[in-house]
């Protein structure tokens, strides 16, 4: 299974999602994360720590045929060539989107670019209630007719810690780490 994580807007949680989805899928089968972003956020995440349960490689070293699951992390505002090269190989495009107006605004434009491809939005950085930002964002996606996951990657400081420590959030010492990890587990369940 090949998954591509893609968005026009930067900083919406593509790399965080790609790392954690890979972490969950690695419990089910051999998993590869291809860091197709020249900024190499995922590659550096892996380098900061030691012991992610999946391989992280740059595109030139990727041998997806040897893996049950391959996840491609990409750069924001992907070049048409990148989209073309990777989307054709993907079973599903996952489009992280934060509840910010700027992120939501890009979604109809991306939808046009992805016509005919299998894609689904994932609400990320969703603030906890009583904030209504998450439900408003879901309403927007619904208005756009943008297919989306029921699961949300909620906003937890534990995920920032995981990035800093180069590990999965399940290995972070934080009272809410388990909640953040539960989102990743739910996402994989919904996906498979
Ligand atoms: N669910 C979340 N809760 C809290 N912080 C998050 C969450 N998702 C992402 N972040 C933080 O938001 C920032 C951007 O996340 P990330 O790097 O995953 O986004 P990105 O879409 O890959 O960015 P870029 O477009 O630059 O590659 C990081 O500091 C990350 O730790
Ligand atoms: Mg990134």
Domains, the chain, with CATH or none:
2-191 (3.40.50.300)
DSSP codes, 178-191 = HHHHHHHHHHHHHH
Residue 169 zone, left/alpha/beta (φ > 0; ψ -120 to 50; rest): alpha
Residues pairing with 120 in the sheet: 94
Q: Does residue 84 carry a pLDDT above 90?
A: no
- Which whole number is the average pLDDT over 138-159? 98
CA distance 154 to 127: 6
Atom of ligand 1 at shortest range from CA of 16:
18
Of 95 and 85, the one with more pLDDT:
95
Mean pLDDT of 96-119: 96
Element housing 150 (H / E): strand 148-154
Q: What is the mean pLDDT of residues 55-67?
A: 95
Query: Which is it for the CA torsion 160, 13, 10, 43, positive or negative?
Result: positive
Please provide the size of the chain in residues.
192
Find the residues whose C-beta lies inside 6 A of ligand 1. 10-16, 37, 41, 76, 124-125, 153, 155-156, 159-160, 163
Query: Is the per-residue pLDDT at 122 higher than 80?
Result: yes
Separation of alpha carbons 13 and 42, rounded Å:
11
* DSSP codes, 156-176: -HHHHHHHHHTS-GGGS--TT
Q: How far is the CA of 68 from the centre of ligand 2 (A)?
A: 23
Which pLDDT does position 29 carry in this prediction? Answer: 98
Q: Which ligand lies nearest the alpha carbon of 100? A: 1
Q: Share the mean pLDDT of the chain.
A: 96
Q: Is the model's pLDDT at 151 over the cut of 80?
A: yes
Average of per-residue pLDDT across 7-18 = 98
Mean pLDDT of all residues in 19-29 = 98
Residues 126/134, Cβ–Cβ less than 8 Å: yes
The model's pLDDT over 72-82, given as tens digits with 9 standing for 90+, comes to 999 999 988 87
Beta bridge partners of 126: 154
Q: Cα(10) to centroid of ligand 1, in Å?
A: 9
In angstroms, the CA 135 to CA 138 distance is 5
- Percent pLDDT > 70 in the chain is 100
Q: How far apart are CA 178 and CA 182, in angstroms?
A: 6
pLDDT of residue 17: 98
Q: What is the rounded CA–CA span in Å between residue 33 and residue 2?
A: 10
Nearest ligand, measured from the Cα of 43: 2
Band (pLDDT 50/70/90 cuts) for residue 85 is confident
Nearest ligand (C-alpha, residue 165): 1
Q: How many CB atoms lie within 10 A of CB 76?
A: 15
pTM: 0.98
């Amino acid at each position: 299974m090949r998954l591509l994580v893609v968005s026009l807007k930067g900083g919406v949680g593509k790399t965080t999602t790609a790392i954690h989805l890979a972490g969950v899928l690695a419990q089910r089968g051999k998993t590869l994360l291809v860091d197709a972003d020249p900024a190499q956020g995922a590659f550096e995440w892996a380098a900061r720590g030691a012991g992610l349960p999946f391989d992280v490689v740059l595109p030139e070293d990727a041998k997806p045929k040897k893996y049950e699951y391959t996840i491609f992390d990409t750069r924001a505002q992907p070049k048409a060539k990148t989209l073309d090269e990777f989307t054709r190989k993907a079973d599903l495009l996952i489009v992280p989107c934060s509840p910010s107006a700027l992120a939501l605004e890009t979604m109809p434009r991306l939808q046009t670019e992805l016509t005919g491809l299998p894609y689904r939005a994932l609400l990320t950085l969703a603030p906890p209630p009583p904030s209504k930002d998450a439900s408003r964002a879901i309403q927007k996606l619904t208005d756009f007719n943008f297919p989306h996951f029921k699961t949300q990657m909620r906003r937890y400081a534990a995920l920032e810690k995981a990035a800093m420590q180069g590990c999965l959030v399940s290995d972070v010492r934080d009272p809410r780490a388990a909640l953040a990890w539960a989102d990743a587990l739910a996402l994989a369940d919904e996906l498979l």
